């Protein structure tokens, strides 16, 4: 049987993971003022970052449509498809992927499609795709893949630190007063998933270095059986910072592996330049 993994473009990949998983990505659309971007391999994230810095307006994103997913489902020769989407509490992408599945069932009833809500984003989706691939390689049944991946998603931890709060302020998710106060006090919020895919504030820490030290501590406080897990880090034009974080984590914990990827368009649009996301 042929299998295919499909994800939306929030799923951040490096070349090694792309080659191994052969994931097909369905792109988001990103608008900064009148400039429109498609979040695919042709997107220049540095151009996007520059446009966001210059604009006083919030970035606007639109998720892939059911038609976009249906085209991907139809174009693959695989008769078994697993789909991974960004948290359904952050985007309508999951609903689009499920609607597309129902559309395809009418014309290709023998094609198996299952859609996973990652309850995360960025490398959270990446880790879910890697888990699916691992189970496919082990030749387990569809039902067992679904059960084990849903359990994996439930146990995942997602955290992120933003270097800049500009996009949160522009979008209205953070008031200008609170944003100004955070900047004056040099507060760096440690945010993450609440377990259901909603964004939760875990702590406000003064100063970037202290925030990253606290982030490393949180891994040990909230994680279990780390030696059996892979930790993934994604960054928005912050490779040096991401590598430093990786080194600190390696000194303290014995993860099975730590992977590092650069954020593509959608993750960059929300994390902004300097933003770091970790998932394990």
CA dist 36 to 9, 40, 100, Å? 16, 12, 25
Per the CB < 8 A criterion, the answer to whether 162 and 191 are in contact is yes
Give this prediction's pTM.
0.94
Q: Name the pLDDT band for 157 (thresholds 50, 70, 90).
A: very high
For the residues 103-107, what does the mean pLDDT come to?
91
For the residues 171-184, what does the mean pLDDT come to?
67
pLDDT over threshold 80, residue 181: no
Determine the length of the chain: 280
Percent of the chain predicted with pLDDT > 90 = 86
- CATH code of the domain occupying 3-155: 3.40.50.10170
| pLDDT score, position 165 | 76
Task: Compute how many other C-beta atoms are within 10 angstroms of the C-beta atom of residue 25.
Answer: 21
Q: What is the mean pLDDT of the chain?
A: 94
Token pair 């309850």 is at which residue? 119
| Beta bridge partners of residue 4, listed in sequence order | 81
| pLDDT score, position 167 | 75
Per the CB < 8 A criterion, the answer to whether 278 and 161 are in contact is no
E strand map for 73-198: 80-85, 112-117, 158-161, 187-193
Q: Name the pLDDT band for 187 (thresholds 50, 70, 90).
A: confident
Q: Where are the domains of the chain?
A: 3-155, 158-279
Q: Name the pLDDT band for 174 (thresholds 50, 70, 90).
A: low
| pLDDT score, position 248 | 98
CA dist 202 to 86, 160, 180, 214, 269, Å? 20, 10, 20, 11, 21
In degrees, rounded to 5, the angle at the alpha carbon of residue 151 between the alpha carbons of residues 146 and 157 is 130
User: pLDDT tens across 13-42, in order?
Assistant: 999 999 999 999 999 999 999 999 999 999
Return d(Cα 258, Cα 277) in angstroms, integer. Answer: 13
pLDDT over threshold 70, residue 49: yes
pLDDT over threshold 80, residue 161: yes
| pLDDT score, position 163 | 86
Per the CB < 8 A criterion, the answer to whether 153 and 195 are in contact is no
Here the tokens at position 229 are 């897990």
Return d(Cα 196, Cα 120) in angstroms, integer. Answer: 8
Least confident interval from 9-18, 125-134, 181-190, 231-240: 181-190
User: pLDDT tens across 214-265, in order?
Assistant: 999 999 999 999 999 999 999 999 999 999 999 999 999 999 999 999 999 9
Percent of the chain predicted with pLDDT > 70 = 95
User: pLDDT tens across 59-100, in order?
Assistant: 999 999 999 999 999 999 999 999 999 999 999 999 999 999
Per the CB < 8 A criterion, the answer to whether 48 and 37 are in contact is yes
For the residues 137-144, what does the mean pLDDT come to?
96
Q: Please tell me the class of the 158-279 domain.
A: alpha beta
Per the CB < 8 A criterion, the answer to whether 7 and 122 are in contact is no
CB burial of 186-199 (b: ≥16 within 10 Å; e: otherwise) equals ebbbbbbbeeebeb
| pLDDT score, position 164 | 80
Here the tokens at position 239 are 């490779």
């Amino acid at each position: 049987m042929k299998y295919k993994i499909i994800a939306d473009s929030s799923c951040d990949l490096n070349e090694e993971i792309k080659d191994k998983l052969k994931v097909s990505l369905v792109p988001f659309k990103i608008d900064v003022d009148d400039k429109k971007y498609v979040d695919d391999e042709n997107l220049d994230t540095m151009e996007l970052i520059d446009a966001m810095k210059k604009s006083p307006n919030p970035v606007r994103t639109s998720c892939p449509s059911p038609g976009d997913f249906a085209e991907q489902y139809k174009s693959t020769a695989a008769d078994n498809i697993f789909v991974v989407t960004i948290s359904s509490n952050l985007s309508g992408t999951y609903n689009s992927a499920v609607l597309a599945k129902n559309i395809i069932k009418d014309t290709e009833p023998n094609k198996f499609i299952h859609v996973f809500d990652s309850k995360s984003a960025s490398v959270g989706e990446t880790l879910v795709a890697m888990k699916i691939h691992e189970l496919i390689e082990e030749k387990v049944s569809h039902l067992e893949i679904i059960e084990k991946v849903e359990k994996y998603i439930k146990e995942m931890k997602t955290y992120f630190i933003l270097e800049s709060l500009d996009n949160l302020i522009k979008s209205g998710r953070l008031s200008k007063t609170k944003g100004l106060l955070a900047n004056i006090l040099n507060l760096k919020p440690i945010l993450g998933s609440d377990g259901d895919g909603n964004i939760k504030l875990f702590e406000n820490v003064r100063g970037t270095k202290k925030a990253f030290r606290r982030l490393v501590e949180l891994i040990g406080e909230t994680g279990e059986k780390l030696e059996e897990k892979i930790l993934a880090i994604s960054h928005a034009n912050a490779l040096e910072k991401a590598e430093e974080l990786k080194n600190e984590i390696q000194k303290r914990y014995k993860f099975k592996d730590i992977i590092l990827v650069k954020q593509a368009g959608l993750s960059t649009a929300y994390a902004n330049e300097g933003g770091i996301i970790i998932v394990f």
